[in-house]
Chains A and B, each alone.
Chain A
Amino acid sequence: MSERPFNRNRRGNVDDRVIVQMFLDRDEDAIAEAKRRYGDYITYIACNVLHDRQDAEECLNDVLYAAWGSIPPQEPKNLRTYLGKLTRETAIDRWRKNTRKKRIRSDVVMSLDEIGEIVAGGDLDAQLEEAELSREISRYLRSIDETKRDVFIQRYWYYDPIKNICARYGFGKSKVLMMLKRTREDLAEYLKERGFIE
Chain B
Amino acid sequence: MKEDIIRRAIGDIDDDLIEGAKEASAAPRKKRKTVVLKRVAVAALAVVLATFGLLMLNANVRAAVLGVFIGTDSEGNTVVRFGENEESGTTDPVDVNDVMIGYVPEGLTAEEITGEDMLNDYRIIGMKSNDGKYTYAEVRIMSERVFDTKFSPGSFDYFSPTTVNGMDAFYTDDMDFIGEEYIASSGMDPDFFRGGLIIFGDGEIIISVSGYNISMDEIIRIAENVTW
Residues of A within 8 A of B (CB): 77-78, 80-81, 84-85, 88-89, 92, 112, 115-116, 118-119, 123-124, 128, 130-131, 133-134, 137-138, 141-142, 146-147, 149-150, 153-154, 156-158, 160, 168-170, 172, 174-175, 178, 182
Contact A137 to B13, CB < 8 A, known contacts A112-B3, A178-B190: yes
Q: Which residues of B contact A78 (CB under 8 A)?
A: 15, 19
A115 to B5 CA separation, bound complex (whole angstroms): 10
- A177: nearest residue on chain B (CB-CB)? B184
B13 with A134: CB separation less than 8 A: yes
A112 with B25: CB separation less than 8 A: no
Q: CB within 8 Å of A: which of B1-24? A: 2-3, 5-15, 17-22, 24
What's the nearest-Cβ distance from chain B to residue A99, in Å? 14
Q: Which residues of B contact A116 (CB under 8 A)?
A: 2-3, 6
User: A-side binding surface: helix, strand, loop or mixed?
Assistant: helix
What's the nearest-Cβ distance from chain A to residue B21, in Å? 4
B32 with A153: CB separation less than 8 A: no
B29 with A168: CB separation less than 8 A: yes
Contact of B21 (CB < 8 Å), options: A92, A124, A131, A150: A150
A-B pairs with beta carbons under 8 Å apart, 22 shown: A77-B15, A81-B15, A84-B18, A85-B11, A115-B10, A118-B6, A119-B2, A119-B6, A128-B5, A130-B9, A137-B10, A138-B14, A149-B17, A153-B13, A153-B21, A154-B25, A156-B7, A156-B10, A157-B10, A174-B180, A175-B190, A178-B189
Q: How large is the interface on B (under 10, 10 to 19, 20 to 34, 35 or more residues)?
A: 20 to 34
A122 to B10 CA separation, bound complex (whole angstroms): 18
A141 with B17: CB separation less than 8 A: yes
- A172: nearest residue on chain B (CB-CB)? B180
Q: Which residues of B contact A142 (CB under 8 A)?
A: 17
Any chain A CB within 8 A of the CB of B31? yes
The winner among A138, A154, A158 for most chain B CB atoms within 10 A is A138
B8 with A130: CB separation less than 8 A: yes
Residues of B within 8 A of A (CB): 2-3, 5-15, 17-22, 24-25, 28-29, 31-32, 35, 180, 183-184, 189-190
What's the nearest-Cβ distance from chain B to residue A82, in Å? 8
A85 with B190: CB separation less than 8 A: no
Q: Which residues of B contact A168 (CB under 8 A)?
A: 25, 28-29
The winner among B2, B9, B35 for most chain A CB atoms within 10 A is B9
Contact of B28 (CB < 8 Å), options: A138, A169, A178: A169
What's the nearest-Cβ distance from chain A to residue B26, in Å? 9
A92 to B6 CA separation, bound complex (whole angstroms): 14
A132 to B18 CA separation, bound complex (whole angstroms): 17
What's the nearest-Cβ distance from chain B to residue A79, in Å? 10
A158 with B190: CB separation less than 8 A: no
Contact of A133 (CB < 8 Å), options: B6, B32, B35, B184: B6
A130 with B12: CB separation less than 8 A: yes
Q: Which residues of B contact A146 (CB under 8 A)?
A: 20, 24
What's the nearest-Cβ distance from chain A to residue B141, in Å? 34
A85 to B20 CA separation, bound complex (whole angstroms): 15
A162 to B20 CA separation, bound complex (whole angstroms): 19
Contact A153 to B6, CB < 8 A, known contacts A130-B12, A174-B190: no
Q: Which residues of B contact A124 (CB under 8 A)?
A: 2, 5-6
Q: Which residues of B contact A118 (CB under 8 A)?
A: 6
Contact of A81 (CB < 8 Å), options: B5, B10, B19: B19
Q: Which residues of B contact A80 (CB under 8 A)?
A: 19
Q: Which residues of B contact A149 (CB under 8 A)?
A: 17, 20-21
